[in-house]
């Protein structure tokens, strides 16, 4: 495990999000879920917006989803590590309608992106022992 700090924007976990990044280190995708009404919540929250329960628990999800939309940033990110054109993708997870994550498309030419493309989770280390869930094309139906 490298101890170098990432040279690009990196997540700083807090008490309500630590589970997500801990799971990513084990190459699993975990999403917050309400134990009261089963609603998935992302980004994680400490209280369920649907049933107002305080009982929010992490749950492993399938990691399968669909590209909902995307933005190709031609001008670069105006932050270190984001020079030149790059792609950010909005993925809708299979587990629940409108349950979305931001991600990047890896292991393929990002110019191939298309709304409706099937994707699956993969993991990328960005330095400092930080591992991001990312998504790649899913050849399975």
Q: Which two tokens stand for residue 19?
A: 């589970």
Least distance from another protein to the Cβ atom of residue 81, Å? 8
Q: Please report which helix (H) or strand (E) contains residue 93, including its range.
A: strand 86-93
Least distance from another protein to the Cβ atom of residue 57, Å? 14
Q: Which two tokens stand for residue 137?
A: 């094309």
Which of 54, 61, 16, 23 lies closest to 37, judged by CA?
Answer: 54
Cβ-based nearer residue to another protein, 103 or 121: 103
Cβ-based nearer residue to another protein, 33 or 42: 42
In the complex, the residues that contact another protein under the rule CB under 8 A are 5-17, 42-43, 45-47, 49-50, 52, 54, 68-75, 77-82, 86-90, 97-104, 115-116, 126, 132
Residues in CB range of 99: below 8 A, 6 or more apart:
31, 40, 42, 92, 93
Least distance from another protein to the Cβ atom of residue 61, Å? 15
Which of 59, 1, 3 lies closest to 33, judged by CA?
Answer: 59
Least distance from another protein to the Cβ atom of residue 107, Å? 15
What sign does the dihedral 115-30-99-15 (CA atoms) show?
A: negative
């Amino acid at each position: 495990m490298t101890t170098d700090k990432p040279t690009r924007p990196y997540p700083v976990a807090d008490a309500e999000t630590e589970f997500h990044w801990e799971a990513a280190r084990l190459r699993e995708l975990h999403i917050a879920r309400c134990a009261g009404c089963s609603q998935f919540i992302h980004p994680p929250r400490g209280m369920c917006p649907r049933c107002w329960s305080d009982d929010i628990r992490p749950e492993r999800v399938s990691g399968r989803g669909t590209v909902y939309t995307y933005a190709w940033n031609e001008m670069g990110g105006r932050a270190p590590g984001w020079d030149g054109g790059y792609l950010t993708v909005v993925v809708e997870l299979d587990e629940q309608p409108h349950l979305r994550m931001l991600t990047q498309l890896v292991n393929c030419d990002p110019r191939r992106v298309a709304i409706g493309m099937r994707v699956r989770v993969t993991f990328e280390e960005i330095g400092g022992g930080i591992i991001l869930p990312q998504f790649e094309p899913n050849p399975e139906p």
